[in-house]
A = this chain, B = another copy of it.
Amino acid sequence: MLRKTALLAAGALLAAGPALASGDGASDAEKAVEYREAVFTAMGHNFGPMVAMMKGEIAWDGDAFAKRAERVAALAGMPWEGFVEGTADIKGSEAKAAIWDNRTDFDKLSQQLQERTAALAEAAAGGAERGAVGKAFKRVGETCKSCHDDFKQDD
């Protein structure tokens, strides 16, 4: 009985979920692109204030930096399953075909991002000062840049 209720509640949720906002007619490939871009959007939103703090554009807040670093690390593991074959040409995708031509390097960078964002979250944990996170922050930025240079259609 509990289980049935759970499934009804879950069913109602799914039927109404923003995840399906792109329409029931969206293909699996379109959903994969929508998902990976959503994760990167969430990552960028949280990384932005970290950059601003590093630059001194906003006041340093070690607790806020730590919270956002933890979020970025959690998000860093999520987008990759959206890079399925057949999604290079989906409208709105910014993925280069190079991803599928050179999957080994792409996967290596995706792994590196997870390791480096985890290291940054660890360095930032508990509310560190800026000087204590600079090196780990730099390494994250380098990985982002390497991957964008090779695999993302940046404007």
Main SS of the interface on chain A? helix
So how many copies of this chain end up in the complex?
Answer: 2
Judge whether A84 is part of the interface by a CB distance below 8 angstroms.
Answer: no
Judge whether A59 is part of the interface by a CB distance below 8 angstroms.
Answer: no
B residues less than 8 Å from A38 (CB atoms): 37-39, 41-42, 45
B residues less than 8 Å from A31 (CB atoms): 45
Judge whether A103 is part of the interface by a CB distance below 8 angstroms.
Answer: no
A14 → chain B, closest Cβ, in Å? 6
Judge whether A119 is part of the interface by a CB distance below 8 angstroms.
Answer: no
Interface residues in chain A, defined as those with a beta carbon under 8 Å from any beta carbon in chain B: 2-3, 5-7, 9-21, 31, 34-35, 37-48, 51, 54-55, 71, 74-75, 77-78, 94, 134-135, 137-138, 141-142, 144-145, 148, 152, 154-155
Kindly list 11 other residue pairs between chains A and B, CB separation below 8 angstroms, not including A2-B135, A10-B55, A10-B137: A9-B142, A10-B47, A13-B47, A13-B141, A15-B154, A16-B148, A18-B41, A19-B44, A35-B42, A38-B42, A74-B74
